Amino acid sequence: MIKPMLSAMIAALTVGLAGPAAALQVFACEPEWGALAHEIGGDKVSVYVATTGVQDPHLIQARPSLISKARTADVTVCTGAELEIGWLPMIVSQSANKKIMPGARGVFQPTDYVHLLETPASLDRSQGDIHAGGNPHIQADPRNMIPVGKAMADRFAELDPANAGLYHGRYQTFLGNWQGALKRWQAEAAPLRGVPIAVQHRSWIYLETWLGLRRVIALEPKPGVPASSGYLAQVLEVLKKTPVKMIIRAAYEDDRPSTFVGGRAGVPAVMLPYTIGGTDQAKDLYSLYDDTLSRMLKALK
């Protein structure tokens, strides 16, 4: 126990003295933003991703390791719109790092650059786990990567002017590749247009919008409130009248509600990666959407 700790400490000190090789230390809260930061920053950024694809980004423990990573960050790339409100503020305040304190330029929130949907008309906890700014799960629509990528390139350039040209150049390359991919995905996804679906948690509004899916019902009575068996029975009634083609859920979610309802209603329960690492196939930004579409198309057959 002592020996590995000592060697870890020595290694840490060596790293500390040598200084980071990359120009920008990026603390990304979710894997998709970590991947986008790689696309924009290349080897000029060193990216730490705080969560994995199978973790619920609403509910993360403010672990000591996260605090130490936030301490050395130049910029945080965290979804925002209150997605990380249960843990990130604690990490930021304990990190003692003024670069990433609220209001600092080292705070980059992708939801600031996208028009948010499902903004609640009133705020009250009796409505469940609602987010004042709107639904934060914007990564479900790949088109959002364009304005976010652009803004990210600008922000990286502002924080690290020496490499501004590189960031902007890499954004242009990304934009070209991404538009090509979007065209391909949109063609592939044509059969999904207008398809009625049920969702386990309301984290798919942007996917629904992108693909023209029709959400019939959610398997939780209110956001973040787990369904009772009585509520699921009501859901089954609704599904009898308005059949759906599939029930989708994120990789990090408990599979029981969707498999239960799916089994009863004879509808496939489809687990989607939600983000990179959510499934084995979703290895990077491109394969994330490849896999999302292939899983949905497979369920449609």
Partner 1 sequence: MPRSASRLAIAVFAAGISATSQANAAPAKPTVTDLATLQQQINALRGDYETKISELETRLKAAEAELAAAHAAATPAPQLAPEASSEVVIADSEAEPSPAAVTPSQNAMNPGVSVVLNGNYVARTRDAAFASIPGFPLSDNAGPERRGLSLGESEVTFGANVDPYLSAALTVSFDGDGGASVEEGFVQTTALPAGLTVKAGRFYSAIGYLNERHGHNWSFIDMPLPYRALLGSQYGDDGVQVRWLAPTPFFLEAGAEIFRGDRFPGGGSDKNRAQAQSLFLHTGSDINDDSSWLGAVSYLHTAARDRVTGADSFSGENGIGIASLVYKWAPGGNPAQRNLTLSGEYFYDRQTGDFNALLAKLNRSGWYAQGVYQFTNRWSLGLRYGSLNGDRPAKVLLKSALDDLGRDPKAITGLLEYDTSEFARLRMQFTHDETDLKANDELRFQYTVVYGPHGAHRY
User: In the range 7-66, which residues lie near partner 1 by CB under 8 A?
Assistant: 8-9, 11-13, 15-16, 51-52, 54-56, 59-65
**CB-nearer residue toward partner 1: 98 or 301:** 98
**CB-nearer residue toward partner 1: 217 or 287:** 217
232 to each of 27, 229, 251, 262, how far by Cα in Å?
39, 5, 20, 11
Closest separation in Å from C-beta 264 to partner 1: 20
Q: Which residues contact 195 (CB under 8 A, 6 or more apart)?
A: 213, 214, 245, 246, 300
Q: How many CB atoms sit inside 10 A of residue 50's CB?
A: 26
Residue ranges of alpha helices (H) inside the chain are 2-18, 31-41, 64-71, 88-95, 145-159, 164-188, 205-211, 229-241, 256-265, 285-300
**CB-nearer residue toward partner 1: 119 or 281:** 119
Closest separation in Å from C-beta 86 to partner 1: 6
Q: Is 54 left (phi over 0), alpha (psi -120 to 50) or beta?
A: alpha
| Cα(138)–Cα(13) distance, integer angstroms | 39
Closest separation in Å from C-beta 37 to partner 1: 17
Asked if 291 and 282 count as a contact pair (C-beta separation under 8 A), the reply is yes
**CB-nearer residue toward partner 1: 109 or 269:** 109
Closest separation in Å from C-beta 251 to partner 1: 10
Among 22, 44, 94, 283, binds partner 1 (CB under 8 A): 94
| Cα(131)–Cα(13) distance, integer angstroms | 41
Q: Restricting to residues 249-288, which ones interact with partner 1 according to CB under 8 A?
A: 252, 254
Closest separation in Å from C-beta 190 to partner 1: 6
Q: Is 134 left (phi over 0), alpha (psi -120 to 50) or beta?
A: left
Identify which range of 26-34, 105-113, 259-267, 280-288 contacts partner 1 by CB under 8 A.
Answer: 105-113
- Applying CB under 8 A, the site for partner 1 has a residue count of 92
Q: Restricting to residues 148-177, which ones interact with partner 1 according to CB under 8 A?
A: 150-151, 154, 175
| Cα(251)–Cα(166) distance, integer angstroms | 35
Identify which range of 33-41, 184-192, 258-266, 284-292 contacts partner 1 by CB under 8 A.
Answer: 184-192
Closest separation in Å from C-beta 170 to partner 1: 15
Among 7, 177, 228, 242, binds partner 1 (CB under 8 A): 242
Among 97, 163, 200, 275, binds partner 1 (CB under 8 A): 97
Closest separation in Å from C-beta 295 to partner 1: 20
Neighbouring-strand partners of residue 269: 247
**CB-nearer residue toward partner 1: 23 or 88:** 88
For residue 140, the Cα-to-chain-centroid distance in whole angstroms is 8
Asked if 80 and 94 count as a contact pair (C-beta separation under 8 A), the reply is no
Token pair 């600092």 is found at: 104
Closest separation in Å from C-beta 79 to partner 1: 14
Among 122, 162, 266, 301, binds partner 1 (CB under 8 A): 122
DSSP assignment of 5-31, as one string?
HHHHHHHHHHHHHH--SSSEEEEESSH
Among 114, 219, 285, 299, binds partner 1 (CB under 8 A): 114
